[in-house]
Amino acid sequence: MKSSKIPPATITRLSFYYRKLEHLIKEDVNIVSSEKLAQLCDVNPAQIRKDLAYFGEFGVRGVGYYSTELLGEIRKILGLNRIWRMAVVGIGNLGSALVAHDNFHKHGYHFVAAFDSDSRKVDQILQHGLKISHIDALPQVLAEMESVDIGVIATPAGWAQDVANRLFKTGIRSLLNFAPIQILTPEGCMVQNVDFTVKLDNLAYFLTSELTRDDPL
């Protein structure tokens, strides 16, 4: 089935299944039922079976899924059986924390370039030996590299679109944007926005609803 027909929510859930399977394998759980995996992922068992059915037939009826085998299949589906090379722009507190986050490296997302507009940061060495370059050198630095697959924007909102445009011009087609602004995207490119305040708004709504329920007017 063509990837364009796969609901985006299915891809998101596959990531959750993948993380839970990793945990199960660490605990030496070799076989897991759709019911158990659904419980761990807080979804309906039928949803798991439907999500996986987009990509083929998995598991054994009456037995369940072989954890390692299913993990491998989802790894191939998500493209996690290779290294994804990333460039990050904006080495403030957030950008530095992203580079230092070992979970990225563990799952095959490797930062290979870092940029900032502050000349005082240029040539500083970050995690995994990554050296900071000036933003103005971005085209040259990326042109000299084998390839960069994903751009990561960790700048203030006012810089984000300009940074995105620079990254798109180098041929990068996928961006992860942490700036609180919607990026205008050329055709054939994709941006995933990560806005922590949206998640906080959800928590605030939940807490407000709980308070309203407990203390009605």
pLDDT by residue (tens digit) across 129-162?
999 999 999 999 999 998 999 999 999 999 999 9
Q: What is the CA radius of gyration of the chain?
A: 21
The low-confidence residues of the chain, meaning pLDDT below 50, are 1-3
In the block, which residue shows the tokens 């030496």?
A: 28
Domain match, 39 and 72 both: yes
* 3-class SS of residue 191: strand
Range of the domain at 177: 84-197
pLDDT at 217: 52
Q: Do 65 and 145 lie in a common domain?
A: no
- Confidence (pLDDT) at 214: 59
**Residue 160, domain CATH:** 3.40.50.720
Given this model, what pLDDT does residue 1 score?
44
Query: What are the residues whose beta carbons fall under 8 Å from the beta carbon of 141, sequence distance 6 or more?
Result: 113, 115, 133
Same domain, 111 and 71: no
Cα(37)–Cα(167) distance, integer angstroms:
39
The answer to whether residue 213 sits within a structural domain is no
Residue 121 within any structural domain of the chain: yes
Same domain, residue pair 53 and 112: no
CA distance 216 to 148: 54
User: Counting beta carbons within 10 angstroms of the beta carbon of residue 113, is it exposed (0 to 12), middle (13 to 18) or buried (19 or more)?
Assistant: buried
pLDDT of residue 75: 95
What residues contact residue 155 under an 8 Å CB cut-off, 6+ apart?
89, 90, 92, 163, 179
pLDDT on residue 216: 54
Quote the number of domains for the chain.
2
**Residue at which a domain ends, from 25, 55, 76:** 76
Query: CATH number, domain at 58?
Result: 1.10.10.10
